[in-house]
Structure 1
Amino acid sequence: MLIMTSKSQTKPQTPEQLARLEKQRLAKIEGAQALAQVDKEYVDVRRNMERLKALRLAKEAHDAANPPPVEPKKKKAAPKKLAVVKAPEPEAVGE
């Protein structure tokens, strides 16, 4: 004889099972919040990168339009030569 059971008849859950299900539910909620926070930080970083890029491009355009004045290069002074001091020749003994 084949007995069919319906899924509507479920066993009562133990307190451990209920605690595990609650822990999983909270982890799912916290995970979703963490992902939302990471997404927000990603958007903030991208927005800041775009702002900095715009500032850099504006500075480069300004520098290209207004090049700094070129100062003539100064000639380097020749290094000072040290005076060569010769020692007096020793006199020959017996001359």
Structure 2
Amino acid sequence: MADNRQNIMEKAETRFLETQKKTAERAKATAEYQTEAKMRAQKTAKLRELRLAKEEADRVEAAALEPAPAKKKRVSRAKAAG
């Protein structure tokens, strides 16, 4: 009977250790996933900031280089009728 009890205790301890190991692995995987997600969000924010800055610089440059609107030439009535 003592042998049977010891066998049951060993099985229970083995299951407990396996459960602890799986829990630790799950926690580690979750932490890695969250770290990667945070890094991805930071990279996305940085790239967005750079893109917006470039778009603003391009807009300012285009406004500075934009020529004055061309005046329409008047068509004289004599040329239009001819």
Identity score, percent: 16
Q: After TM superposition, which residue ranges in structure 1, 4 or more long, deviate above 2 angstroms? A: 11-14, 68-73
| TM-score, with length taken from structure 2 | 0.65
Counterpart of 1:59 in structure 2 is 58
Unaligned stretches of 5+ in structure 1? 1-10, 74-95
Give yes or no for the alignment of 1:26 onto 2:25.
yes
Q: CA deviation at 1:14?
A: 2.6
Counterpart of 2:37 in structure 1 is 38
Aligned length: 64
Alignment partners' CA distance in 2, 1:35 and 1:42: 10
The structure with the larger Rg is 1
Specify which structure has the higher proportion of helix.
2
Q: CA deviation at 1:59?
A: 0.6
Task: Give the CA RMSD over aligned residues.
Answer: 2.3
Unaligned stretches of 5+ in structure 2? 1-8, 73-82
| TM-score, with length taken from structure 1 | 0.57
